[in-house]
């Protein structure tokens, strides 16, 4: 990752134009050409520095549901349960954390009905209760990482 | 905003990302039988309605060196939680801030914020500063650093 890559990442965390030649517009701001921008974006997606390029959707406004879920899993069972949880396509990401509640994952479902059923299925398959904590209020932040 | 059939096709087409080509909206339109102008118009409408929260990139913060990732949870009295949440969300070091339900008796915390940093010591300093400047010394809190990451992908809706 060089200075140009950093500039691209920082710029594209602040939005992307909705216009006929958006790459050309951004490339112009960064002082590079359109082809270079596209090529570098493709490479950073391929190498996994970037996980997505495009629109970020508001799940609830699309009729879907999102929830943060936590589980308390004994160390000896942890890997088995992680494998079982991650097998659900609704699990968007999953982190171990250093607390009695040691497994934390985000569930994203197409409908709120599916949310209720997938919570039950995870508890059934793993044998442990799932504590779901959907957001009740989101406080404004500008999530971005300066690189 | 009511989504019509074309909007649903459009969302399905772009939810995994925009094509990396000179005229990405034109290319999306070609795939679903809309003109470039129509796609631009509908994507703008989706963003104006808040269905698209933003356009751009999502970084894998871990790969970019932000390896210390703390979830700080607070047990704030209900009548103060929105005010405290707004204050925490306004701080530069806080990257996400949500109010969530308690799950009593096991889980008493109702305010969650994420703090990312390159080193654990630095993140702990940020938290100490937050506690002092926002006068949260009396509020019970826990800091949960992330360990292994098992999965990270974008959510899919259709």
Per-domain residue ranges for chain B? 5-48, 68-145
H/E stretch holding A92 reads strand A91-97
Asked if residue B37 lies in contact with residue B89, where contact means CB atoms within 8 angstroms, the answer is: no
CA–CA separation, B107 vs A67, rounded Å?
Answer: 16
The active-site residue out of A6, A43, A93, A99 is A93
B101 in A contact zone (CB under 8 Å): yes
Q: Tell me whether residue A93 is one of the annotated catalytic residues.
A: yes
Q: Tell me what the mean pLDDT of segment B58-79 comes to.
A: 90
Domains (range + CATH), chain A: 3-46 (no CATH), 60-133 (3.30.70.3460)
B141 in A contact zone (CB under 8 Å): no
Asked if residue B76 lies in contact with residue B88, where contact means CB atoms within 8 angstroms, the answer is: no
- Interface touch B155/A59, C-beta < 8 Å: yes
Asked if residue B84 lies in contact with residue B90, where contact means CB atoms within 8 angstroms, the answer is: no
pLDDT value at residue B102: 98
Q: Tell me what the mean pLDDT of segment B140-155 comes to.
A: 79
Residues of chain A in contact with residue B140, where contact means CB-CB under 8 angstroms, are none
pLDDT value at residue A60: 81
CA–CA separation, A37 vs A24, rounded Å?
Answer: 8
CATH node for B68-145:
3.30.70.3460
Q: Which of A4-8, A35-39, B89-93, B123-127 has the lowest mean pLDDT?
A: B89-93
H/E stretch holding A114 reads helix A112-126
Residues of chain A in contact with residue B54, where contact means CB-CB under 8 angstroms, are 15, 55-56
pLDDT band at B105 (very low <50, low <70, confident <90, very high): very high
H/E stretch holding B125 reads helix B120-133
Q: Where are the beta strands (DSSP E) in chain B?
A: 52-59, 68-74, 94-99, 111-117, 141-152
CA–CA separation, B13 vs B29, rounded Å?
Answer: 9
- Residue in B55, B64, B151 closest to A145 by CB: B64
Mean confidence (pLDDT) of chain B: 91
Both structure tokens of A128 = 């442990």
Residues of chain B in contact with residue A87, where contact means CB-CB under 8 angstroms, are none
Which segments of chain A have a pLDDT < 70? 141-145
């Amino acid at each position: 990752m060089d200075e140009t890559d950093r500039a691209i990442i920082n710029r594209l965390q602040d939005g992307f134009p909705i216009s006929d030649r958006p790459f050309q517009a951004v490339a112009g701001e960064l002082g590079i050409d359109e082809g270079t921008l596209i090529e570098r974006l493709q490479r950073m997606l391929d190498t996994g520095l970037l996980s997505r390029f495009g629109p970020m959707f508001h799940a609830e406004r699309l009729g879907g549901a999102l929830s943060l879920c936590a589980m308390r899993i004994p160390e000896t069972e942890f890997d088995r349960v992680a494998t079982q949880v991650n097998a659900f396509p609704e699990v968007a990401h999953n982190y171990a954390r250093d607390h009695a509640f040691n497994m934390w994952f985000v569930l994203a479902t197409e409908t709120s009905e599916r949310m209720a059923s997938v919570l039950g299925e995870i508890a059934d398959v793993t044998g442990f209760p799932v504590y779901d904590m959907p957001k009740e209020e989101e406080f404004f932040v500008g999530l971005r990482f300066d690189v | 905003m009511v989504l019509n059939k074309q909007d649903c096709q459009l969302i399905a087409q772009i939810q995994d990302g925009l094509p990396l080509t000179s005229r990405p909206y034109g290319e999306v339109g070609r795939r679903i039988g809309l003109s470039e102008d129509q796609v631009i118009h509908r994507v703008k409408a989706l963003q104006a309605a808040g269905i698209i929260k933003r356009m751009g990139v999502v970084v894998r913060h871990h790969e970019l060196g932000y390896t210390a990732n703390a979830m700080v949870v607070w047990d704030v009295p209900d009548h103060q939680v929105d005010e405290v949440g707004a204050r925490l969300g306004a701080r530069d070091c806080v990257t996400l801030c949500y109010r969530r339900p308690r799950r009593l008796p096991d889980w008493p915390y109702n305010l969650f914020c994420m703090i990312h940093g390159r080193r654990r010591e630095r993140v702990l300093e940020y938290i100490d500063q937050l506690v002092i400047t926002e006068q949260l010394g009396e509020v019970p809190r826990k800091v949960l650093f992330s360990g292994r990451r098992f999965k990270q992908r974008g959510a899919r809706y259709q």
